[in-house]
Amino acid sequence: MLEPERGCRVGRGVDADLPVPWENWLSRQHFRATARADGVHIERLSQARNPIFLRGEPVDRIILREGEAVVIGETTFRADRAEPESPSPAEQPIEEVTFTRQDLRRIRYRDADRRLEVLSHLPEIISGAHDEPSLCSRLSHLLLTGIGHAEAAAVVELDASGAVRLKQWERRRETAGAFRPSQRLVDEALTQQRSVLQIWQRRSPSNSEYTISSDFDWAFCTPIEGRSPRWGLYVAGKLDATQSILETMRPDGLHLQADVKFAELVADVIGSVDRVNRLESNLSVLRQFLSPPVVSALERTSEGRGLNTELLEPRECDVAVLFCDVRGFSQQAEESAGDLLGLLDRLSRALDLMTRQILEHGGVTGEFLGDAVLGFWGWPFASEESPLNACRAALAIRRALSAAREVPGHPLADVEVGIGIAQGRAVAGKIGAGERVTVTVFGPVVNLASRLETMTKQLRVPILVDERTAELVRRRLSASEGRTRKLARVLPYGMETPLTVSELLPPLKEFPELTDDHLRLYEEGVEHFLAGRWADAYRLLHSMPSSDRAPDFLLPRIAQANRTAPPGWNGVVELGAK
Distance CA 153, CA 262 (A): 13
| Rounded (5°) CA angle 328-330-334 | 115
pLDDT value at 76 more than 80: yes
Confidence band of 94 (pLDDT split at 50, 70, 90): low
The verdict on 439 and 513 lying in the same domain is: no
Question: Domain for residue 297, yes or no?
Answer: no
Q: How many CA atoms lie within 13 A of 198 on its CB side?
A: 25
Question: Domain for residue 286, yes or no?
Answer: no
Q: What is the pLDDT of residues 531-563, one digit of tens each?
A: 999 999 999 999 999 999 999 999 999 999 999
**What DSSP element (H or E) covers 126?**
helix 122-128
The verdict on 93 and 239 lying in the same domain is: yes
Distance CA 141, CA 302 (A): 36
Question: Domain for residue 324, yes or no?
Answer: yes
pLDDT in the model for residue 205: 45
Q: Among 78, 102, 117, which residue terminates a domain?
A: 78
Which of 11-15, 145-149, 233-237 is predicted with the least confidence, judged by mean pLDDT?
11-15
Between the CA of residue 426 and those of 291, 467, 481, what are the distances in Å? Answer: 20, 17, 27
Confidence band of 469 (pLDDT split at 50, 70, 90): very high
Structural domain for 550, as ranges: 485-492+506-578
pLDDT in the model for residue 209: 36
The verdict on 122 and 31 lying in the same domain is: no
Q: Among 259, 276, 293, which residue terminates a domain?
A: 276
The verdict on 119 and 192 lying in the same domain is: yes
Question: Domain for residue 3, yes or no?
Answer: no
The verdict on 145 and 190 lying in the same domain is: yes
- Distant-in-sequence, close-in-space partners of 17: CB < 8 Å, separation ≥ 6: 7, 8, 9, 10, 174, 175, 177
The verdict on 48 and 95 lying in the same domain is: no
The verdict on 214 and 359 lying in the same domain is: no
Distance CA 561, CA 494 (A): 25
Q: Is the pTM of this model over 0.75?
A: no
pLDDT in the model for residue 85: 43
Question: Domain for residue 287, yes or no?
Answer: no
Residues 319, 380 contacting (CB under 8 angstroms):
no
Cβ neighbours of 130 (radius 10 Å): 8
Question: Domain for residue 501, yes or no?
Answer: no
Q: Among 25, 44, 78, which residue terminates a domain?
A: 78
Q: What is the pLDDT of residues 95-130, one digit of tens each?
A: 677 777 676 666 676 677 777 888 787 888 787 777
The verdict on 103 and 224 lying in the same domain is: yes
Residues 347, 369 contacting (CB under 8 angstroms):
no
The verdict on 178 and 257 lying in the same domain is: yes
pLDDT in the model for residue 82: 60
Whichever domain contains 442, its CATH number is 3.30.70.1230
Residues 320, 423 contacting (CB under 8 angstroms):
yes
93-113 burial, b at 16+ Cβ within 10 Å, e below that, comes to beeebebeeeebeebeeeeee
Beta bridge partners of 196: 98, 221
pLDDT in the model for residue 211: 35
The verdict on 204 and 330 lying in the same domain is: no
Question: Domain for residue 497, yes or no?
Answer: no
Whichever domain contains 63, its CATH number is 2.60.200.20
The verdict on 214 and 248 lying in the same domain is: yes
pLDDT value at 273 more than 90: no
The verdict on 203 and 255 lying in the same domain is: yes
The mean pLDDT of 90-95, rounded to a whole number, is 59
pLDDT value at 88 more than 50: no
- Distant-in-sequence, close-in-space partners of 83: CB < 8 Å, separation ≥ 6: none
pLDDT in the model for residue 492: 92
As for how many domains the chain has, the answer is 4
Question: Domain for residue 298, yes or no?
Answer: no
Residues 376, 322 contacting (CB under 8 angstroms):
yes
Whichever domain contains 166, its CATH number is 3.30.450.40
Q: What is the pLDDT of residues 172-206, one digit of tens each?
A: 776 556 678 888 899 999 998 889 988 876 554 44
pLDDT in the model for residue 74: 83
* 276 compared with 403, residue with greater pLDDT: 403
